[in-house]
Amino acid sequence: MSPRSDAVRSRERILAAARDGRGEELRLNEIARRAGVGVGTVYRHFPTTHALTEALTRETLERMREVARAAREGSDEDAFALFLGAALDLQLDDGGLKTVLLSPADEEPGVAELKREIFAAFDEVLDRARRSGAVRADLDIVQIEHLICGIEYAVRLGASGDRAPFLEILLAGIRPAPAR
Amino acid sequence: MSPRSDAVRSRERILAAARDGRGEELRLNEIARRAGVGVGTVYRHFPTTHALTEALTRETLERMREVARAAREGSDEDAFALFLGAALDLQLDDGGLKTVLLSPADEEPGVAELKREIFAAFDEVLDRARRSGAVRADLDIVQIEHLICGIEYAVRLGASGDRAPFLEILLAGIRPAPAR
DNA sequence: ACCGAAAATGGATGAGTAATCCGCTTCCGG
DNA sequence: CCGGAAGCGGATTACTCATCCATTTTCGGT
C-alpha cells in the first residue's frame, strides 16, 4: 500500500524546514513550526533525531557512495588519498554525515545498504593503499574513519576552514614510518 | 577583605559535587542538589558553566604548566614529541581542558596567567622543534592545538582508548615532507 | 557580647525544549 | 459515498537552565 498523500506532503515539508536551518542544532519544535505541522507529526515521521539526521544526509551518503565506487573501480595510484580528501570534504559539508557513518542505528530505509556499500568500497581501496605502501598495515577502516572525524573536528576549530594542511598531515601521518 | 566562611564552604561543596559527576555533562541543578546548596548559590559562585569548568580544570592546567616548563627548560631532543604526548594525555584525562585552553573567556582568577605561561613555553618548544626539522614550518601553535583536539576526539571515538597509534600518526604527520 | 550592614543563601519562578498521548480529521479503496 | 485505517495537531508532562529577591548568615566595629 502506497503512503497517503498528506503523509508524503508532511514528510517533505519537515525535511525542507530542517534543511533551512542547516548548521543549527535540530530542534524539533522549531522545525515543526517552520514546516507548518504539529510536533506529533514530526515524531511520527522521524521517531528519533537520528532518523531525521539520516534522512537529511541521504543525498550526501549517495554522493559518498559514488566517490567510493569511483575510487574502487579506477586504477588511480592516489585513489586512497583522493577518497580521503573527498570524504573529509563531504563531512565538512554535511555535519550530520559523521553521526550517520559512525552510528550502528540505521533507522531510515536504505541507509544500512548505502553504508555497507560505502564501507566495502572504502575497505578495498584501503587494502590496495596498504599493499602499495601508502598506509600503515596496523590501521583498519574504523580507525581511519575516526581519524577523518578528528581532522574534521580540527578543521572546524579553525576559523578559516582551510582543510588542505590538515589533510596533508593526515595522509603523511598514516604512511608507514620509513625504515632508517 | 577575606571571603566569608560560608562562601568558602559552599564553593568547596560545589566543586566536590561537580568532581563526583566527572564525565557526565555539567547539570547545575543536579550539582546543587548533590552539593546540598541552592541553585542560586551555584550561579553566584560560577556565573557561567565555563567558569565552573575552569575551576574544575585548574589542577590539570597546573600540571600542564609543569610539563610545559620542563619541556622548555630541558635539553631533550624529543622535548616537543614528549610534550605533545603529555598534552594529549592531559586532555584525554580531563575533558574540560580543551574548552579552557581554546576559549578566550578566562573567567576564574589566575586562569589567564596559567594559559599564557603554558602557551609561551609551548611556543618556544615548538620553535625549537621547527628549527630542528621535526615540525613543518607552516604550522603555528594554534593549529597544533587544534590538531591535538582532533586527535583527542578520534581517540575518544575508539572504544579502546588506545592513544599510541594516533599520537604516532600526529607526530609523523606534522614532520616536514621529505625532499624527493 | 551585641548590632547592623553587607554578603551569601535557597528555592520559587519563568522561559525554553524533548517527547508522548489521544481525540479529531483526512484519505482512499471498495 | 462510506467506513475504518492512517495521519494529524497540539495540549500536556517532564526536565533543565538561569534569574531574582526575601530571608538568613557572617563578621568587623563598638
- CATH number of the domain that residue B5 is part of: 1.10.10
Judge whether A51 lies within some domain.
no
Residues 6 or more apart whose Cβ sits within 8 Å of residue B101: B115, B118, B145
| Whether residue A29 is found in the same domain as residue A96 | no
| Whether residue B36 is found in the same domain as residue B95 | no
pLDDT at B111 over 70: yes
Residues 6 or more apart whose Cβ sits within 8 Å of residue B14: B31, B32, B35, B37, B41, B42, B45, B46, B52
| Whether residue B127 is found in the same domain as residue B69 | yes
What average pLDDT does the segment A93-98 reach?
96
| Whether residue A65 is found in the same domain as residue A143 | yes
| Whether residue B94 is found in the same domain as residue B27 | no
Assigned C-alpha cell, A104: 550502528
Of B150, B168, B172, the CB nearest to A150: B150
Q: Report the domain count for chain A.
A: 2
Are the C-beta atoms of residues B22 and B34 closer than 8 Å to each other?
no
| Whether residue B65 is found in the same domain as residue B128 | yes
Are the C-beta atoms of residues B26 and B18 closer than 8 Å to each other?
yes
Q: How many whole angstroms separate alpha carbon B59 and alpha carbon B94?
A: 10
Nearest CA of chain A to the CA of B46: how many Å?
A: 26
Q: Do B172 and A170 touch (CB under 8 A)?
A: no
| Whether residue A155 is found in the same domain as residue A66 | yes
Contacts of A165 in chain B (CB under 8 A): 136, 138-139, 143
What average pLDDT does the segment A98-119 reach?
97
Residues 6 or more apart whose Cβ sits within 8 Å of residue B78: none
Q: What is the pLDDT of residues B157-175, one digit of tens each?
A: 999 999 999 999 999 999 9
pLDDT value, residue A140? 97
Q: How confident is the model at residue B23 (pLDDT cuts 50, 70, 90)?
A: confident
Q: What is the pLDDT of residues B36-76, one digit of tens each?
A: 999 999 999 999 999 999 999 999 999 999 999 999 998 88
User: Residue A175 in 3-state DSSP?
Assistant: coil
Q: How confident is the model at residue A22 (pLDDT cuts 50, 70, 90)?
A: confident
Contacts of A175 in chain B (CB under 8 A): 172
What angle do the packed helices A164-173 and B164-174 form, to 10 degrees?
120
pLDDT value, residue A180? 60
Judge whether B51 lies within some domain.
no
What average pLDDT does the segment A1-23 reach?
94
| φ, ψ (nearest 5 deg) of residue A26 | -75, 110
Q: What is the pLDDT of residues A39-76, one digit of tens each?
A: 999 999 999 999 999 999 999 999 999 999 999 998 88
* Mutation site for A-interface testing, chosen from B84, B151, B160 by largest number of A Cβ within 10 Å: B151
What average pLDDT does the segment A118-138 reach?
97
- CATH number of the domain that residue A29 is part of: 1.10.10.60
Q: Mean pLDDT, chain B, as a whole number?
A: 95
Q: How many whole angstroms separate alpha carbon B62 and alpha carbon B118?
A: 9
| Whether residue B10 is found in the same domain as residue B88 | no
Q: In Å, how far from its chain's centre is CA B102?
A: 9
Judge whether A155 lies within some domain.
yes
Q: How confident is the model at residue B178 (pLDDT cuts 50, 70, 90)?
A: confident
Judge whether A152 lies within some domain.
yes
What average pLDDT does the segment A1-9 reach?
94
Judge whether A50 lies within some domain.
no
Radius of gyration of chain B (CA): 19
pLDDT value, residue B16? 97
Q: How many whole angstroms separate alpha carbon A17 and alpha carbon A25?
A: 13
Assigned C-alpha cell, B111: 586562569
Assigned C-alpha cell, A91: 563531512
Judge whether A178 lies within some domain.
no
pLDDT at A115 over 90: yes
Q: Do A150 and B146 touch (CB under 8 A)?
A: no
Assigned C-alpha cell, A84: 580521503
Judge whether B52 lies within some domain.
no
Domain that holds residue A40: 1-45
| Percent of chain A scoring above 90 in pLDDT | 89
Q: Mean pLDDT, chain A, as a whole number?
A: 96
pLDDT at B180 over 70: no
User: Residue A158 in 3-state DSSP?
Assistant: coil
| Whether residue B111 is found in the same domain as residue B139 | yes
- The closest of B54, B60, B117 to B87, measured between CA atoms, is B60
Chain B residue with minimum CA distance to A155: B146
Closest nucleotide (C1' vs CA) to B32 is C10
Judge whether B23 lies within some domain.
yes
Contacts of A102 in chain B (CB under 8 A): 157
| Whether residue B62 is found in the same domain as residue B11 | no
Q: How confident is the model at residue B25 (pLDDT cuts 50, 70, 90)?
A: confident
Q: How many whole angstroms separate alpha carbon A107 and alpha carbon A54?
A: 8
- The closest of A97, A153, A162 to B151, measured between CA atoms, is A153
pLDDT value, residue A19? 95
Q: How confident is the model at residue B24 (pLDDT cuts 50, 70, 90)?
A: confident
B95: number of Cβ within 10 Å: 18
For A40 and C25, how far is CA from C1' in angstroms?
14
Q: How many whole angstroms separate alpha carbon A107 and alpha carbon A102?
A: 13
Q: Where are the alpha helices (DSSP H) in chain A?
A: 5-20, 28-35, 39-45, 49-73, 79-93, 97-102, 111-131, 141-157, 164-173
pLDDT value, residue B77? 82
pLDDT value, residue A77? 81
| Whether residue A10 is found in the same domain as residue A96 | no
| Whether residue B87 is found in the same domain as residue B37 | no
